[in-house]
Structure 1
Amino acid sequence: MDMRDTIVYAIGDVHGCHDELRALEQKIQLDARQFRSRKIIIMLGDYIDRGPHSRRVIEHLMAPPPKGFLRVCLVGNHEVALLNYLDGYLSREPWLGYGGRETLFSYGVDPDRLTSLYGSSEQADARIREAIPPSHVDFLRTLPVMVCSEQFVFVHAGIRPGIALEAQDEGDLTNIREEFFQAAHRLDRWVVHGHTIVDVPTLDGRRLDIDTGALQTGRLTALRIVGKYGRLLSNKE
Structure 2
Amino acid sequence: MDELSAESLLADLKRVEAERTRRAADPALEARVLALKAFQQRRFAHTYADLLTDPRYQPATRFFLHELYGPDDYRQRDAQFARVIPTLTRLFPDEVVDTVAKLARLHALSERLDTRMAEHLPSPDLTPAAYVAAWRACAEPASRREQIALTMAVGESLDRLTRKPLLRQTLKLMRGPAQMAGLGALQHFLESGFDTFRAMRGAGEFLATVRRREDTLAQALFDGDMQGLSGL
Specify the TM-score bucket, using the shorter chain as the normaliser: under 0.3
TM-score, normalisation: structure 2: 0.25
Instruction: Flag the structure with more relative contact order, 1 or 2, with Cα contacts below 8 A and sequence separation at least 6.
Output: 2
Which structure has the highest helix share of the two? 2
Which structure has the highest strand share of the two? 1
TM-score, normalisation: structure 1: 0.24
